Copies of this chain bind each other. A is one copy, B any other.
Amino acid sequence: MNWRARLLALDGLMPGMDESGALAWTTLADAPEGCDLVFLGLDEGKACFAAVPEAGDIAPRLANPALWQAMASLRPDDLAIYGGARSLVDWHARHRFCAQCGGPTTLAKGGWQRDCGNCGAQHFPRTDPVTIMLVEHNDRLLLGRGKGWPEGRFSALAGFVEPGESLEEAVAREVLEESGVVVGEVRYIASQPWPFPSQLMIGCHATATSDAITMDETELAEIGWFSRSEVAAALVGEGPFTAPPAQAIAHHLLTWWIEK
């Protein structure tokens, strides 16, 4: 038996970083008295843990600017570890009670479950599938600016998959709701976890059968069709709009479209 273990350094939900810009790790001795620990897995022969903070994310669907900056500087493998850990500890912090009976729950199975001592219900961390899609018509892409986004920032349309839908149905419904555009063939491109709080972004390409737009004004501030040259220019910072940042799957999808 060996007790080699390490604890992910977190300040609330913010990642701690060492001088080299890598994720910082500390020892189990640094975990706050009585806090819950989530087992993240083994790395280099050491058991890796993260401590559940007192409070979860107060605005769980939004990243904050300081976090965005930290994420931009993390290496991809560190970003994956941080993202998975953040989703898990935030879920625990916001799920201390049983949704079925209201009783207190306790962490189980190393943090991959919570159990209710009152009614016996078991609860599992969430992963919420979101479709994000490049809608194409006559070699142009449909991109939108969400309400509250900075002026000039456009990205692919996106939305949560609803109960009872396939991915392809979710893409078609979301595009119709947000833009009034009807799509035909839908094709899967790539996926990426996005831990705010626990999305699985599923990137697709959809072929539109019409280009007339009726914008959903509750969700979007602007929407429009952009040509291949406009998208290519935006990706190098010289376009008629600001492209999504490199960490976002939307950036990867736009790059895929330009290169295909």
Q: Could you list which residues of chain A lie within 8 angstroms of chain B, going by C-beta atoms?
A: 56, 80-81, 83-85, 87-88, 91, 94-104, 112, 121, 123-129, 160-168, 188, 190-193, 195, 198, 200, 202
Known contacts A83-B164, A100-B96, A164-B87: A129-B129 contact under CB 8 Å: yes
Report Cα–Cα, A253/B214, bound state, in Å.
37
Known contacts A163-B84, A163-B88: A127-B125 contact under CB 8 Å: no
Q: Could you pull out 7 A-B pairs where Cβ atoms are within 8 angstroms?
A: A80-B164, A83-B163, A97-B98, A97-B101, A112-B162, A161-B200, A163-B193
What 8 pairs across the A-B complex have the smallest Cβ distances?
Answer: A84-B164, A97-B102, A87-B163, A188-B188, A95-B99, A167-B191, A102-B102, A166-B191
Report Cα–Cα, A101/B96, bound state, in Å.
7
* A173 CB, nearest partner CB in chain B, Å: 10
Determine which of B100, B162, B163, B188 lies in contact with A97 in the assembled complex, contact meaning CB atoms within 8 Å. Answer: B100
Q: Is the CB of B191 within 8 A of A168?
A: yes
A190: chain B residues within 8 A (beta carbon): 166
* A26 CB, nearest partner CB in chain B, Å: 20
Q: Is the CB of A166 within 8 A of B188?
A: no
A123: chain B residues within 8 A (beta carbon): 99
* A62 CB, nearest partner CB in chain B, Å: 14
A84: chain B residues within 8 A (beta carbon): 162-165
* A81 CB, nearest partner CB in chain B, Å: 8
Determine which of B56, B91, B163, B202 lies in contact with A91 in the assembled complex, contact meaning CB atoms within 8 Å. Answer: B163
A198: chain B residues within 8 A (beta carbon): 163
Report Cα–Cα, A101/B55, bound state, in Å.
11
Name the residue on B nearest A201 (C-beta): B166
Name the residue on B nearest A90 (C-beta): B163
A97: chain B residues within 8 A (beta carbon): 97-102
Report Cα–Cα, A1/B125, bound state, in Å.
43
Most buried by B among A88, A161, A165: A165
Q: Is the CB of B195 within 8 A of A163?
A: yes
A129: chain B residues within 8 A (beta carbon): 127, 129, 200
Q: Is the CB of A103 within 8 A of B100?
A: no
* A169 CB, nearest partner CB in chain B, Å: 8
